[in-house]
Structure 1
């Protein structure tokens, strides 16, 4: 596959030698994050059947230029599909094109096909049939997220007509007005000669749509999409809908009547074609930015391959070449999410840094995003493996090879774990900001199917267990034998013993200078200190990772104060995955202050975290009550019926 740039859009061409091609149309927002791995796998499977495939990001999404708040966004999305069809025809020479879209991408594909006319085929995967219904669905998703433990203490967005938010992604007024008027049956009455619909969400409406198409003499085939629920899970848990993908393959190959063709390993495309251009493939150097493109005034982004084409990244630079000598920021994946980050944080942050003259690389570690090889499934063990740290170290070395004075790592959750281990041993890493780090070390917990083989409750918070012990209904369940109290007691005993042992060892070291059995967690920070890596641990005030921090390093990480290059900070109004707008601003501002004060030309004292504490927002009585209620709500939400 090869990166493609056209009119500010970024995408991927999966070349093949057939006469029929496919344009894949992503869903919107969080749906696109969940299904990114699956959509890539679908593109690869279709290319293996001899069909060239183009998948791409709409304006203001993914790695494309622009922001979702730009006027005319809805029109631009439809037009970008039409441009993608033209690019696929021009660069591959295909005679027939099918559009395949998931959720909102299916709706956009149908509308674009209606305008284009003469489309060979259209595949609709659980399409959005009514814009009004979809907006209500997004609002419901936001309310659902607010009830999750990871959203504790986040700043709730107002219920306004200016935008609709779900999991950090927003549709703004301009797009909302256009979407609200959409009715797929009315607006795409004859989108293509052949249509395949896979849907199990709204049978009555789908029946009406299929009947309407048949009245218009469209060849329609309808199938169920029973795997939809497992496909739309968060990116780590999302399962490839094998049956649905086989149905699409069969439907498309039946139409072509051609035998399965071998995937072409290289396609000689004109790099300066009129519709778009193919970026330089498989290169470990940037050269003269021949493959780069301007995503906004003064900001250039270049798709790059690292480690011989195994890892993929986007190198974001200001136009000024002077920034090449300064340290660069290395952004690693958040969990199993692609390089754009949750709520597109990595993209927005990279371009914000470039406007300040700071270079960055947002990279897909091995097996994630668009790095090689693509995988059908992922596990926690894979995300927390040392291979990920090795990949991050490789990306840091790549940055130094471009002339940078080193790499400053930025990672969230599992990305923070990867960053910590890479920073502890890679000389090219000179700094790190690790956000909501959940575990300092990891021992494999997954079975052969990639599922945790230990009870997840054992990984929970001590505060959760203690608050559960204060609830009579919990003791009643133990007495009735409905739940086991002994495993919980053992877990708590082990945790308190570990904490007492760590406290005792710390006291002995302070008084006598004798180190008693340093743990792996302590070795990591000793290594960071010895190498002189400026490191900051940043936590949301109510994040679960604080439990791990305090268990190993005392209240608020106090035992880390002995290391003068390691600091710990806490942010109010900061959710775990950094999805809310306030949380994103907190994290970006903190990183910028840290970077300027530590690696700027003129060093100055590092400012404190610019957040508003509860005590400043409320009088002291209300502040204490609010903090107690928040923590109790957190414990109750996490405890469930365990």
Structure 2
């Protein structure tokens, strides 16, 4: 597997020796994040069976140059597939090319194949057959997300014709207009000699499309895609559709397909054979890595990005630098994965943030930690225990050292959720890390909770944050559900009582220790921050005001993290309109603005105090009675925490 750059686009080439190659056409937006690991595994499987594969980012998506908001995206996406086919043919010398697309990628693949002509095969996985239905689907996803606890207090986007958004990714009016006009039966008359369709979403439309293709004299095979639902889950929970991928392999290596691939498929049909093929492929690719990075490319005026290898090719990343670096020895920013999401980040936050920093003269590295994105090892599944393992902190520390080796004075970490956990532990022990902004940190320490299959054995986040529940108690419809028996109030009351009791105990223990110099219980959490303070690491914990991570903070360090004030270089900030995964546009702007201010005032010239985050008053956001009720409940909560907690 090696990176390739072409016309402002970024991709990965999976080399193999065979006459037939495959171009993978990814879905759009959140679908691409969910299935990134799976599409990579499909590429590796096909390459292991003798079919070179190219996967890439469309313009304005992933690591490619541009934004999705730019005009002409639909045309540019189709053209990029055609260019990818030309690159695969030129690079590998394949005689035949198959396009394989998932969701919107399947639709784009069919249109590109029609324009190209001479395409041997077309594989469509749950293709988008109706642009109007797809827009309704995206809107439904957005409304569903707004109801989730993780979206509490986010700023909802207006219902507008200018764009459609789902999970932070947008399709704009120009693209939507093109999508609405698509009709594959009209626009892709004879896209390929052979077609494979796997779909379980829209049987009637698929039947019509298959019948139309058969009327054109094409060989068409249709199969169900029963694993679709589990494949399209969020990146941590997404399951590889083994049966669907096996069907694709069999179809590509069929009687009309590649005899070399068919021979390899037979030789490696068992689990051990597949593992041997993949192991040999990875070993061969590692031998190809003669240096740590390839040539960079300009992604926007004044900004250059270069795909890089770290630790002998085990980790991959994108090094983003300004064309003219005024201070080569200034610190660089290190961005780690958010959960199991690839290096681009939720809603492409890491890409946008890196390029925004570069415009200000600040270099950055967005890296895939081991087992995530495009780093090694390549995994079928990722568990919570893996995300919170200390190996992640070791990988982040390695990336920080790589930045210092490029001449930077140190690394300033930016991590969200599980990435914040990784950043905390890397910063506590790695000298190359000189600063950290940890966003919505959920846990300070971690005890393994998954079984041998990677599934949690205990409920994860069974209850939301206390602030969420206090806010819900101000809503009459919540009480109406309790009265009707649609939900139980007693379990919530017991949970809240247990939380207040735990905070009372933690506060009492802290006061006894400070007065009597007695250590009570485990102090792993305090040791982390003591280490940060001793090393002089400038650290900021950044939370949405209703984020569930606030529970962990207040459990160990008092209301609003008051007991962290004893550490001079550690601060806590709470920001409204900030959802947990930083998907909304307002939340993204909050995080980027805060990080820019923190970096400038801590590591820039002058080292001036950081400006405070403006917080919109409750009465300005809520109705007068609603605000009064919320404030009264918050006061009662503070009283239960002992209103004189350590200052």
Q: TM-score under structure 2 normalisation?
A: 0.89
Alignment match, 2:640: none
Change (3 A) 1:485 1:608: closer
Cα distance in 2 between the residues matched to 1:331 and 1:234: 20
Cα distance in 1 between the residues matched to 2:308 and 2:366: 10
Change (3 A) 1:528 1:133: same
Unaligned runs of 5+ in 2: 265-276, 636-647
Residue 630 of structure 1 and its aligned partner are, at CA, apart by: 12
Residue 109 of structure 1 and its aligned partner are, at CA, apart by: 0.2
Alignment match, 1:428: 432
Of residues 450-459 and 304-313 in structure 1, the stretch that sits farther from structure 2 once superposed is 450-459
Matched, 1:440 2:444: yes
Change (3 A) 1:253 1:62: same
Residue 494 of structure 1 and its aligned partner are, at CA, apart by: 6.0
Alignment match, 2:245: 245
8 Å CA contact 2:152–2:468 kept in 1: the answer is no
Cα distance in 1 between the residues matched to 2:223 and 2:623: 59
Alignment match, 2:259: 257
Q: Deviations over 1:189-224 (max 9, x none)?
A: 210000000000010110000000001101000000
Alignment match, 2:376: 372
Count of residue pairs the alignment pairs up: 615
Which of 555, 569, 574 pairs up with 2:559?
555
Which of 518, 524, 528 pairs up with 1:520?
524
8 Å CA contact 1:283–1:308 kept in 2: the answer is no
Partner-residue secondary structure (3-state), 1:456: coil
Change (3 A) 1:381 1:627: farther
Alignment match, 1:78: 78
Alignment match, 1:136: 136
Partner-residue secondary structure (3-state), 2:573: strand
Cα distance in 2 between the residues matched to 1:103 and 1:229: 12
Cα distance in 2 between the residues matched to 1:340 and 1:145: 20
Cα distance in 2 between the residues matched to 1:156 and 1:629: 25
Cα distance in 2 between the residues matched to 1:26 and 1:221: 21
8 Å CA contact 1:283–1:309 kept in 2: the answer is no
Matched, 1:295 2:299: yes
Alignment match, 1:153: 153
Alignment match, 1:639: none
What pairs up with 1:200-599 in 2 under 5 angstroms?
200-254=200-254, 255-258=257-260, 259-261=262-264, 282=289, 285=292, 291-456=295-460, 460-461=464-465, 495-512=499-516, 514-517=518-521, 519-599=523-603
Cα distance in 2 between the residues matched to 1:266 and 1:230: 27
Q: Deviations over 1:81-106 (max 9, x none)?
A: 00000000000000000000000000
8 Å CA contact 1:400–1:428 kept in 2: the answer is yes
Cα distance in 2 between the residues matched to 1:146 and 1:178: 27
Residue 66 of structure 1 and its aligned partner are, at CA, apart by: 0.3
8 Å CA contact 2:325–2:361 kept in 1: the answer is no
Cα distance in 2 between the residues matched to 1:624 and 1:575: 23
Partner-residue secondary structure (3-state), 1:321: coil
8 Å CA contact 2:465–2:550 kept in 1: the answer is no
Residue 496 of structure 1 and its aligned partner are, at CA, apart by: 4.7
Cα distance in 1 between the residues matched to 2:112 and 2:283: 27
Q: Deviations over 1:494-522 (max 9, x none)?
A: 64554233212322344455554452111
Alignment match, 1:51: 51
Cα distance in 2 between the residues matched to 1:266 and 1:527: 38
8 Å CA contact 2:465–2:546 kept in 1: the answer is no
Cα distance in 1 between the residues matched to 2:331 and 2:517: 36
Change (3 A) 1:330 1:624: farther
Change (3 A) 1:484 1:150: closer
Cα distance in 2 between the residues matched to 1:117 and 1:457: 52
Partner-residue secondary structure (3-state), 1:157: coil
Change (3 A) 1:464 1:454: farther
Q: TM-score under structure 1 normalisation?
A: 0.90
Q: Deviations over 1:293-336 (max 9, x none)?
A: 10001001010011111110000000123343101100000000
What pairs up with 1:63-102 in 2 under 5 angstroms?
63-102=63-102
Cα distance in 1 between the residues matched to 2:287 and 2:404: 21
